[in-house]
Amino acid sequence: MHRIIIKRAAAAACLAALAACAGMGGNHGTSGGMQMPGKTPADAAVAATWYNPPSEFPGICLTQFKDGSLRFDGGFAFFNPGRWAYDAATSELRLQLAPTPSLALSHAQTVLHQNLLRVEATRNTLVYAVKADTQAIGLGGFVFYRDTPCPARRG
């Protein structure tokens, strides 16, 4: 009789623990990783890509990885390493970049940077309004287009 009660209690405790884990924000450390609204990239490790095509400067790629890291290629490497987070409830994308003294100054005019809501200078973070239909964000005076494939990295 005691064994049945112990087994049922153990099973209930396991279910409660799983339910608690499922309710935690984000899914850091799991194979699924963090998600972004919109198209799902072909690369399973990538949550989203943003690309500024070449014009008078070479193209710049911003890659958000599902583990919460982000990386710039082709330009803006001084912002590496970076982290990102997305809050679906507020539709806010937070890009936390490597410490850069000019981040707040260069982004102070949020109206000049497409979808930029605010700069959290003490955290080196740019906060954008991003929904499933958001096509671009502005960063450092450049427009980064969403879901545009980045060219393959060299080297």
Domain ranges of the chain: 28-146
Read off the tokens for 66. Answer: 């599902």
Q: What is the pTM of this model?
A: 0.71
| Residue 107 contacts residue 119 (beta carbons within 8 Å) | yes
Q: Find out whether 91 and 131 touch, Cβ atoms under 8 Å.
A: yes
Is the model's pLDDT at 14 over the cut of 50? no
pLDDT tens for residues 37-87?
Answer: 777 777 889 999 999 998 888 899 999 999 999 999 999 999 999 999 999
